Structure 1
Amino acid sequence: MMTIDVMRDGVVTFRGRPVTLTGGEVKVGGPAPEFTVLGSDFSPLGLNFAPGAVRILSAVPSLDTEVCDQQTRRFHEEAAALDGVAALAVSVDLPFAQARWCGASGLDRVWTASDHRDLSFGLAYGVVVAQLRLLARAVFVVDPADQLVHVEYVAEIGAHPDYEQALAVARSTLNR
Protein backbone atom coordinates (compact mmCIF):
# COMPACT_ATOMS: atom_id res chain seq x y z
CA MET A 1 0.00 0.00 0.00
CA MET A 2 1.22 3.50 -0.81
CA THR A 3 2.08 5.92 1.91
CA ILE A 4 0.12 9.12 2.26
CA ASP A 5 2.84 11.71 1.83
CA VAL A 6 1.23 14.50 -0.19
CA MET A 7 -1.80 16.49 0.94
CA ARG A 8 -3.17 19.19 -1.40
CA ASP A 9 -5.69 21.63 0.08
CA GLY A 10 -8.24 23.62 -1.91
CA VAL A 11 -7.58 22.00 -5.29
CA VAL A 12 -11.23 20.96 -5.54
CA THR A 13 -14.46 21.62 -3.70
CA PHE A 14 -17.30 19.38 -2.60
CA ARG A 15 -20.64 21.17 -2.49
CA GLY A 16 -18.76 24.46 -2.61
CA ARG A 17 -16.43 23.71 0.31
CA PRO A 18 -12.69 23.12 -0.19
CA VAL A 19 -11.47 19.58 0.49
CA THR A 20 -8.04 18.02 0.78
CA LEU A 21 -6.74 15.68 -1.91
CA THR A 22 -4.29 12.99 -0.90
CA GLY A 23 -1.62 11.80 -3.31
CA GLY A 24 0.63 13.64 -5.70
CA GLU A 25 -0.64 15.58 -8.69
CA VAL A 26 0.10 13.98 -12.06
CA LYS A 27 0.86 16.09 -15.13
CA VAL A 28 0.61 15.82 -18.90
CA GLY A 29 3.83 14.45 -20.35
CA GLY A 30 4.65 12.39 -17.29
CA PRO A 31 4.37 8.64 -16.94
CA ALA A 32 0.98 7.24 -16.02
CA PRO A 33 1.35 5.73 -12.55
CA GLU A 34 0.69 2.03 -12.13
CA PHE A 35 -2.14 0.99 -9.81
CA THR A 36 -4.07 -2.08 -8.72
CA VAL A 37 -7.85 -1.98 -8.42
CA LEU A 38 -10.52 -4.68 -8.39
CA GLY A 39 -12.84 -5.53 -11.26
CA SER A 40 -16.46 -6.40 -10.58
CA ASP A 41 -15.41 -10.07 -10.34
CA PHE A 42 -12.72 -9.13 -7.75
CA SER A 43 -9.90 -9.78 -10.21
CA PRO A 44 -7.02 -7.27 -10.09
CA LEU A 45 -6.83 -4.63 -12.82
CA GLY A 46 -4.02 -2.21 -13.48
CA LEU A 47 -2.86 0.32 -16.03
CA ASN A 48 -2.51 -2.51 -18.57
CA PHE A 49 -6.26 -3.36 -18.51
CA ALA A 50 -6.32 -2.61 -22.26
CA PRO A 51 -2.77 -3.12 -23.60
CA GLY A 52 -1.86 -1.03 -26.63
CA ALA A 53 -4.98 1.13 -26.39
CA VAL A 54 -5.47 4.78 -25.61
CA ARG A 55 -7.03 4.65 -22.15
CA ILE A 56 -9.45 7.08 -20.57
CA LEU A 57 -9.22 6.74 -16.79
CA SER A 58 -12.34 8.30 -15.32
CA ALA A 59 -12.31 8.84 -11.54
CA VAL A 60 -15.75 9.26 -9.98
CA PRO A 61 -16.99 9.46 -6.36
CA SER A 62 -19.77 6.84 -6.82
CA LEU A 63 -21.51 5.25 -9.78
CA ASP A 64 -24.77 5.62 -7.85
CA THR A 65 -24.90 9.40 -8.37
CA GLU A 66 -26.32 11.20 -11.39
CA VAL A 67 -23.17 12.96 -12.61
CA CYS A 68 -20.99 9.87 -12.09
CA ASP A 69 -23.51 7.72 -13.96
CA GLN A 70 -23.58 10.21 -16.85
CA GLN A 71 -19.78 10.53 -16.91
CA THR A 72 -19.29 6.77 -16.98
CA ARG A 73 -21.91 6.29 -19.69
CA ARG A 74 -20.49 9.08 -21.86
CA PHE A 75 -16.88 7.90 -21.78
CA HIS A 76 -17.82 4.25 -22.31
CA GLU A 77 -20.18 5.00 -25.20
CA GLU A 78 -17.57 7.22 -26.89
CA ALA A 79 -14.76 4.70 -26.31
CA ALA A 80 -16.89 1.87 -27.74
CA ALA A 81 -17.26 3.92 -30.94
CA LEU A 82 -13.49 4.39 -31.31
CA ASP A 83 -11.36 1.41 -32.24
CA GLY A 84 -8.27 1.50 -30.03
CA VAL A 85 -9.75 3.48 -27.12
CA ALA A 86 -10.83 1.95 -23.80
CA ALA A 87 -12.40 3.67 -20.80
CA LEU A 88 -12.13 2.62 -17.17
CA ALA A 89 -14.34 4.16 -14.47
CA VAL A 90 -12.73 3.98 -11.03
CA SER A 91 -14.54 4.63 -7.75
CA VAL A 92 -14.42 3.34 -4.20
CA ASP A 93 -17.79 1.64 -4.67
CA LEU A 94 -17.60 -2.02 -3.73
CA PRO A 95 -17.28 -4.44 -6.65
CA PHE A 96 -20.79 -5.75 -5.86
CA ALA A 97 -22.27 -2.27 -6.35
CA GLN A 98 -20.30 -1.75 -9.54
CA ALA A 99 -21.50 -5.09 -10.93
CA ARG A 100 -25.08 -4.09 -10.11
CA TRP A 101 -24.60 -0.73 -11.88
CA CYS A 102 -23.10 -2.45 -14.93
CA GLY A 103 -26.05 -4.85 -15.11
CA ALA A 104 -28.55 -1.99 -14.87
CA SER A 105 -26.68 0.34 -17.26
CA GLY A 106 -27.57 -1.47 -20.46
CA LEU A 107 -24.05 -0.85 -21.77
CA ASP A 108 -21.60 -3.44 -23.03
CA ARG A 109 -17.82 -3.02 -23.00
CA VAL A 110 -18.11 -1.20 -19.67
CA TRP A 111 -14.96 -1.34 -17.57
CA THR A 112 -15.41 -0.42 -13.91
CA ALA A 113 -12.96 -0.86 -11.09
CA SER A 114 -13.10 -0.54 -7.33
CA ASP A 115 -10.36 1.28 -5.43
CA HIS A 116 -11.98 0.51 -2.07
CA ARG A 117 -9.29 -1.83 -0.78
CA ASP A 118 -6.18 0.36 -0.54
CA LEU A 119 -6.84 3.45 -2.67
CA SER A 120 -3.99 2.48 -5.00
CA PHE A 121 -5.41 4.41 -7.97
CA GLY A 122 -6.57 7.38 -5.91
CA LEU A 123 -3.22 7.88 -4.21
CA ALA A 124 -1.21 7.34 -7.41
CA TYR A 125 -3.27 9.92 -9.31
CA GLY A 126 -3.83 12.30 -6.38
CA VAL A 127 -7.62 12.08 -6.22
CA VAL A 128 -8.39 10.71 -2.74
CA VAL A 129 -10.65 13.14 -0.87
CA ALA A 130 -9.20 12.88 2.64
CA GLN A 131 -12.37 14.02 4.43
CA LEU A 132 -14.66 11.55 2.65
CA ARG A 133 -12.51 8.57 1.57
CA LEU A 134 -13.97 9.00 -1.91
CA LEU A 135 -12.28 9.81 -5.19
CA ALA A 136 -12.51 13.32 -6.58
CA ARG A 137 -13.84 13.67 -10.11
CA ALA A 138 -10.97 13.59 -12.61
CA VAL A 139 -10.13 12.38 -16.11
CA PHE A 140 -6.78 11.10 -17.34
CA VAL A 141 -5.98 10.05 -20.90
CA VAL A 142 -3.04 7.68 -21.31
CA ASP A 143 -1.37 6.90 -24.62
CA PRO A 144 -0.29 3.38 -25.68
CA ALA A 145 3.23 4.08 -24.32
CA ASP A 146 1.77 4.78 -20.83
CA GLN A 147 2.32 8.55 -20.96
CA LEU A 148 -0.27 11.01 -19.69
CA VAL A 149 -1.61 13.08 -22.59
CA HIS A 150 -4.55 14.69 -20.76
CA VAL A 151 -5.18 15.48 -17.08
CA GLU A 152 -8.26 17.16 -15.65
CA TYR A 153 -8.96 17.53 -11.95
CA VAL A 154 -12.56 18.80 -11.96
CA ALA A 155 -12.73 21.86 -9.68
CA GLU A 156 -16.14 21.01 -8.15
CA ILE A 157 -16.70 17.32 -7.44
CA GLY A 158 -20.38 17.59 -8.37
CA ALA A 159 -19.64 19.15 -11.79
CA HIS A 160 -19.10 17.42 -15.13
CA PRO A 161 -15.62 17.10 -16.63
CA ASP A 162 -14.79 18.60 -20.02
CA TYR A 163 -15.85 15.59 -22.06
CA GLU A 164 -15.07 17.16 -25.42
CA GLN A 165 -11.50 18.04 -24.45
CA ALA A 166 -10.71 14.56 -23.11
CA LEU A 167 -12.29 12.86 -26.12
CA ALA A 168 -10.52 15.17 -28.58
CA VAL A 169 -7.18 14.27 -26.98
CA ALA A 170 -8.04 10.55 -27.10
CA ARG A 171 -8.96 10.82 -30.79
CA SER A 172 -5.83 12.80 -31.70
CA THR A 173 -3.65 10.33 -29.77
CA LEU A 174 -5.04 7.52 -31.93
CA ASN A 175 -3.81 9.34 -35.03
CA ARG A 176 -0.21 9.81 -33.89
Structure 2
Amino acid sequence: MANVTFKGNPMTLIGKEVKVGDTAPDFTVLNQGLEPVTLADYDGKVKIISVIPSIDTGVCSQQTRKFNEDASGLENTAILTISVDLPFAQKKWCAAEGLPNVITLSDHRDLSFGEAYGVVMKELRLLARSVFVVDSTNKVVHAEYVGEGTNHPDYDTAIAKAKEAK
Protein backbone atom coordinates (compact mmCIF):
# COMPACT_ATOMS: atom_id res chain seq x y z
CA MET A 1 0.00 0.00 0.00
CA ALA A 2 1.16 3.53 -0.75
CA ASN A 3 2.68 5.50 2.12
CA VAL A 4 0.80 8.77 2.39
CA THR A 5 0.98 11.62 4.86
CA PHE A 6 -1.24 14.67 5.24
CA LYS A 7 0.44 17.73 6.78
CA GLY A 8 3.19 15.36 7.90
CA ASN A 9 0.84 12.93 9.68
CA PRO A 10 0.78 9.32 8.46
CA MET A 11 -2.55 8.27 6.94
CA THR A 12 -4.15 4.84 6.74
CA LEU A 13 -5.49 4.26 3.23
CA ILE A 14 -8.62 2.14 2.89
CA GLY A 15 -9.09 0.01 -0.20
CA LYS A 16 -6.90 -1.78 -2.71
CA GLU A 17 -4.00 0.02 -4.33
CA VAL A 18 -4.42 0.36 -8.09
CA LYS A 19 -1.35 -0.30 -10.22
CA VAL A 20 -0.35 0.21 -13.83
CA GLY A 21 -1.68 -2.69 -15.90
CA ASP A 22 -4.72 -3.27 -13.69
CA THR A 23 -8.21 -3.05 -15.10
CA ALA A 24 -9.63 0.16 -13.67
CA PRO A 25 -12.13 -0.65 -10.92
CA ASP A 26 -15.69 0.52 -11.43
CA PHE A 27 -17.21 3.06 -9.06
CA THR A 28 -20.34 5.13 -8.54
CA VAL A 29 -20.08 8.82 -7.69
CA LEU A 30 -22.46 11.78 -8.03
CA ASN A 31 -22.25 14.60 -10.55
CA GLN A 32 -23.25 18.20 -9.82
CA GLY A 33 -26.87 17.32 -10.61
CA LEU A 34 -26.84 14.54 -7.97
CA GLU A 35 -27.02 11.89 -10.69
CA PRO A 36 -24.96 8.69 -10.36
CA VAL A 37 -21.91 8.41 -12.62
CA THR A 38 -19.82 5.29 -13.18
CA LEU A 39 -16.64 4.46 -15.06
CA ALA A 40 -18.83 3.06 -17.86
CA ASP A 41 -20.14 6.57 -18.53
CA TYR A 42 -16.72 7.29 -20.06
CA ASP A 43 -16.29 4.02 -22.02
CA GLY A 44 -14.17 4.44 -25.11
CA LYS A 45 -12.41 7.54 -23.75
CA VAL A 46 -9.05 8.05 -22.11
CA LYS A 47 -9.67 9.19 -18.55
CA ILE A 48 -7.48 11.44 -16.42
CA ILE A 49 -8.82 10.94 -12.91
CA SER A 50 -7.58 13.74 -10.68
CA VAL A 51 -8.27 12.95 -7.03
CA ILE A 52 -8.21 15.72 -4.44
CA PRO A 53 -8.96 16.04 -0.72
CA SER A 54 -11.16 19.17 -1.06
CA ILE A 55 -11.84 21.43 -4.03
CA ASP A 56 -11.87 24.68 -2.07
CA THR A 57 -8.24 24.54 -0.91
CA GLY A 58 -5.14 25.95 -2.58
CA VAL A 59 -3.38 22.90 -4.01
CA CYS A 60 -6.66 21.14 -4.89
CA SER A 61 -7.91 24.20 -6.72
CA GLN A 62 -4.61 24.53 -8.60
CA GLN A 63 -4.59 20.82 -9.46
CA THR A 64 -8.12 20.98 -10.85
CA ARG A 65 -7.35 24.07 -12.92
CA LYS A 66 -3.98 22.75 -14.17
CA PHE A 67 -5.30 19.43 -15.48
CA ASN A 68 -8.26 21.12 -17.12
CA GLU A 69 -6.10 23.78 -18.78
CA ASP A 70 -3.19 21.56 -19.83
CA ALA A 71 -5.15 18.48 -20.92
CA SER A 72 -8.35 20.00 -22.28
CA GLY A 73 -7.09 19.80 -25.87
CA LEU A 74 -6.38 16.08 -25.74
CA GLU A 75 -8.51 14.16 -28.18
CA ASN A 76 -11.03 11.63 -26.82
CA THR A 77 -10.05 12.38 -23.21
CA ALA A 78 -12.26 13.02 -20.17
CA ILE A 79 -10.75 14.88 -17.22
CA LEU A 80 -12.53 13.86 -14.02
CA THR A 81 -11.93 15.55 -10.67
CA ILE A 82 -13.11 13.44 -7.75
CA SER A 83 -13.35 14.47 -4.09
CA VAL A 84 -15.69 13.92 -1.16
CA ASP A 85 -16.93 17.50 -1.38
CA LEU A 86 -20.68 17.79 -1.76
CA PRO A 87 -21.81 18.28 -5.36
CA PHE A 88 -23.18 21.71 -4.38
CA ALA A 89 -19.74 22.86 -3.20
CA GLN A 90 -18.13 21.52 -6.38
CA LYS A 91 -20.67 23.38 -8.53
CA LYS A 92 -20.16 26.60 -6.57
CA TRP A 93 -16.37 26.32 -6.97
CA CYS A 94 -16.66 25.77 -10.73
CA ALA A 95 -18.90 28.85 -11.06
CA ALA A 96 -16.64 31.02 -8.90
CA GLU A 97 -13.54 29.92 -10.84
CA GLY A 98 -15.20 30.44 -14.22
CA LEU A 99 -14.80 26.77 -15.16
CA PRO A 100 -18.32 25.63 -16.02
CA ASN A 101 -17.15 22.67 -18.14
CA VAL A 102 -14.95 21.03 -15.51
CA ILE A 103 -16.25 17.58 -14.58
CA THR A 104 -16.34 17.35 -10.79
CA LEU A 105 -17.65 14.19 -9.18
CA SER A 106 -18.49 13.61 -5.53
CA ASP A 107 -17.64 10.45 -3.62
CA HIS A 108 -19.22 11.74 -0.41
CA ARG A 109 -22.14 9.31 -0.34
CA ASP A 110 -20.45 5.92 0.06
CA LEU A 111 -16.75 6.33 -0.84
CA SER A 112 -17.22 3.94 -3.78
CA PHE A 113 -14.38 5.45 -5.79
CA GLY A 114 -12.09 5.97 -2.81
CA GLU A 115 -12.33 2.38 -1.61
CA ALA A 116 -12.05 0.93 -5.14
CA TYR A 117 -8.83 2.90 -5.78
CA GLY A 118 -7.38 2.70 -2.27
CA VAL A 119 -7.38 6.44 -1.61
CA VAL A 120 -9.67 6.91 1.42
CA MET A 121 -7.70 8.46 4.28
CA LYS A 122 -9.34 6.70 7.22
CA GLU A 123 -8.35 9.34 9.76
CA LEU A 124 -9.90 12.24 7.81
CA ARG A 125 -12.58 10.60 5.59
CA LEU A 126 -11.05 12.49 2.69
CA LEU A 127 -9.49 11.16 -0.50
CA ALA A 128 -5.71 11.13 -0.76
CA ARG A 129 -4.27 13.25 -3.55
CA SER A 130 -3.64 10.97 -6.50
CA VAL A 131 -3.86 10.76 -10.27
CA PHE A 132 -4.88 7.83 -12.46
CA VAL A 133 -4.76 7.68 -16.23
CA VAL A 134 -7.01 5.02 -17.70
CA ASP A 135 -6.98 4.17 -21.41
CA SER A 136 -10.05 3.72 -23.61
CA THR A 137 -10.16 -0.01 -22.78
CA ASN A 138 -10.11 0.76 -19.03
CA LYS A 139 -6.52 -0.34 -18.40
CA VAL A 140 -4.61 1.78 -15.89
CA VAL A 141 -1.61 3.31 -17.68
CA HIS A 142 -0.54 5.67 -14.87
CA ALA A 143 -1.11 5.65 -11.12
CA GLU A 144 0.35 8.20 -8.72
CA TYR A 145 -0.38 8.30 -5.01
CA VAL A 146 1.15 11.61 -3.91
CA GLY A 147 3.30 10.93 -0.83
CA GLU A 148 2.38 14.13 1.01
CA GLY A 149 -1.21 15.26 0.62
CA THR A 150 -0.32 18.94 0.51
CA ASN A 151 2.09 18.48 -2.44
CA HIS A 152 1.25 18.66 -6.14
CA PRO A 153 1.13 15.55 -8.34
CA ASP A 154 3.43 15.06 -11.33
CA TYR A 155 1.26 16.83 -13.91
CA ASP A 156 3.68 16.39 -16.82
CA THR A 157 3.93 12.61 -16.49
CA ALA A 158 0.16 12.16 -16.15
CA ILE A 159 -0.53 14.29 -19.22
CA ALA A 160 2.21 12.52 -21.20
CA LYS A 161 0.67 9.15 -20.30
CA ALA A 162 -2.77 10.40 -21.36
CA LYS A 163 -1.32 11.54 -24.70
CA GLU A 164 0.23 8.09 -25.25
CA ALA A 165 -2.96 6.25 -24.28
CA LYS A 166 -5.46 5.17 -26.86
TM-score (norm 2): 0.96
4+ aligned runs moved over 3 Å, structure 1: none
1:158 is aligned to 2:150: yes
The CA deviation string for residues 76-107 of structure 1, in whole angstroms up to 9 with x for no partner, is 12232112111100000001101101111212
Deviations, residues 130-158 of structure 1 (Å, cap 9, x unaligned): 00000000000000000000000000000
Tell me which of 69, 74, 89 is aligned to 1:82: 74
Percent sequence identity is: 57
Aligned to 2:102: 110
Contact 1:76–1:86, Cα closer than 8 Å, also in 2:
no
Q: TM-score, normalised by structure 1?
A: 0.91
Match of 2:50 in 1: 58
Q: Are the aligned partners of 2:29 and 2:37 in contact in 1 as well (CA < 8 Å)?
A: yes
**Where does structure 2 lack aligned partners over 5 or more consecutive residues?**
none
- Root mean square deviation, CA, Å: 1.1
Is 2:11 the counterpart of 1:19?
Answer: yes
Q: Does residue 1:34 correspond to 2:26, yes or no? A: yes
How many correspondences in the alignment?
166
Matched, 1:168 2:166: no
Q: Look up the equivalent residue of 1:77 and give its one-letter code.
A: E
In 2, Cα distance between equivalents of 1:112 and 1:95: 8
- Look up the equivalent residue of 1:57 and give its one-letter code: I
Instruction: Describe how 1:87-98 pairs up with structure 2 within 5 A.
Output: 87-98=79-90
- SS of residue matched to 1:100: helix
Unaligned runs of 5+ in 1: 1-7
Q: CA deviation at 1:51?
A: 2.7
